[in-house]
């Protein structure tokens, strides 16, 4: 089977594209981080939390330090290293921004890696519906401060979340950087990541949901606990 990596943000689109990439054995998550290695370059998520997410999924994450000036060269450098390790495909979560696709295809082809975009051309509503219907759980962790109030931070991606987004004049999937998400559970996850403590951080023109504490939850115990609580609630209504 062809080995591949996922260009990883920790959010809904990279997660769903990883899940949908058929015929590829995902052996690495690739995440570009700030030069101090504290946060991801694109979404500002804590590098530590992304490593915890990787552990929950059971796929190792590679975090490559970079700057915006050296981003492309650093990306190519790590792709060359992955190619030496037998990786032949790169999975990306882009939906329809042609400029992004052009960059992905150019950079991957330069090192002889095939680019795969499982979400390409899909309608925004379809992407969000498939994400939720597949059993993924995610929260909003970053957003433009002029579009989203602080009450959105940490909000779960569900049907009411989508309905409220539809009332706004924005891209439903946040393709223009309006908001970013972080996935805490789903069909690929061997463990669930439970957020225990967080704080709001205002950095520039963005609000961030900074995760301070978290813990791993056994999925079997979590599901049984919720089934038990559901039965108790049902009996209480009889």
Residue 235: per-residue pLDDT: 46
Alpha-carbon Rg for the chain, nearest whole angstrom, is: 18
Any idea where the domains of the chain sit in the sequence? Answer: 2-236
Residue 82: per-residue pLDDT: 98
Q: Tell me how far CA of residue 204 lies from CA of 37, 117, 162, 191, in angstroms.
A: 19, 31, 26, 34
Instruction: Flag whether pLDDT at 234 surpasses 50.
Output: no
Residue 231: per-residue pLDDT: 41
Instruction: Flag whether pLDDT at 28 surpasses 80.
Output: yes
Of the listed ranges 32-36, 139-143, 234-238, the least confidently predicted one is 234-238
State the CATH class of domain 2-236: alpha beta
Average pLDDT over residues 207-233: 75
End-to-end distance of the chain based on CA atoms, in angstroms? Answer: 53
Residue 42: per-residue pLDDT: 85
pTM beyond 0.85, yes or no: yes
Of the listed ranges 116-130, 152-166, 211-225, the least confidently predicted one is 211-225
Average pLDDT over residues 180-208: 96
DSSP states of 175-211:
TTSSEEEEEEE-TT-SEEEEEEEEEEEEETTEEEEEE
Instruction: Flag whether pLDDT at 54 surpasses 70.
Output: yes
Residue 228: per-residue pLDDT: 45
pLDDT band at residue 225, thresholds of 50, 70 and 90?
Answer: low
Instruction: Flag whether pLDDT at 233 surpasses 90.
Output: no
Contact status, residue 203 vs residue 237, Cβ threshold 8 Å: no
Instruction: Flag whether pLDDT at 118 surpasses 60.
Output: yes
Residue 224: per-residue pLDDT: 61
Instruction: Flag whether pLDDT at 210 surpasses 70.
Output: yes
Residue 146: per-residue pLDDT: 96
Nearest to 61 by CA among 26, 89, 30, 103: 30
Q: Which residues are 166's β-sheet partners? A: none
pLDDT tens readout for residues 33-50? 999 999 999 888 999 999
Burial 66-104 (b: 16+ CB within 10 A, else e): beeeeeeebbeebbeebeeeebebbbbbbbbeeeebebb
Instruction: Give the residue with greater pLDDT, 226 vs 132.
Output: 132
Residue 229: per-residue pLDDT: 54
Residue 223: per-residue pLDDT: 64
Cα–Cα dist 155/157, whole Å? 7
């Amino acid at each position: 089977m062809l080995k591949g990596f996922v260009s990883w943000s920790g959010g809904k689109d990279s997660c769903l594209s990883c899940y949908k990439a058929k015929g590829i054995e995902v052996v690495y998550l690739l995440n570009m981080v700030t030069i101090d290695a504290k946060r991801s370059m694109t979404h500002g998520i804590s590098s530590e939390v992304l490593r915890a997410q990787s552990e929950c999924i059971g796929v190792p994450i590679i975090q490559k330090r970079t700057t915006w000036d050296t981003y492309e060269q650093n990306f190519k450098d790590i792709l060359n290293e992955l190619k030496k390790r037998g990786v032949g495909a790169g999975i990306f979560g882009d939906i329809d921004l042609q400029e992004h696709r052009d960059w992905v295809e150019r950079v991957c082809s330069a090192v002889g890696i095939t680019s795969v975009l499982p979400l390409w051309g899909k309608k925004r509503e379809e992407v969000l519906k498939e994400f939720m219907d597949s059993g993924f759980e995610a929260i909003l962790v970053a957003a433009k401060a002029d579009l989203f109030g602080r009450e959105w931070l940490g909000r779960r991606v569900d049907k009411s979340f989508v309905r409220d987004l539809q009332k706004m004049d924005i891209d439903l999937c946040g393709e223009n950087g309006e908001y970013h998400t972080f996935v805490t559970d789903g069909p690929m996850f061997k463990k669930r990541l439970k957020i225990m403590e967080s704080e709001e951080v205002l950095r520039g023109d963005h609000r961030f949901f900074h995760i301070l504490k978290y813990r791993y939850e056994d999925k079997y115990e979590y599901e049984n606990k919720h089934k038990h609580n559901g039965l108790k609630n049902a009996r209480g209504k009889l």
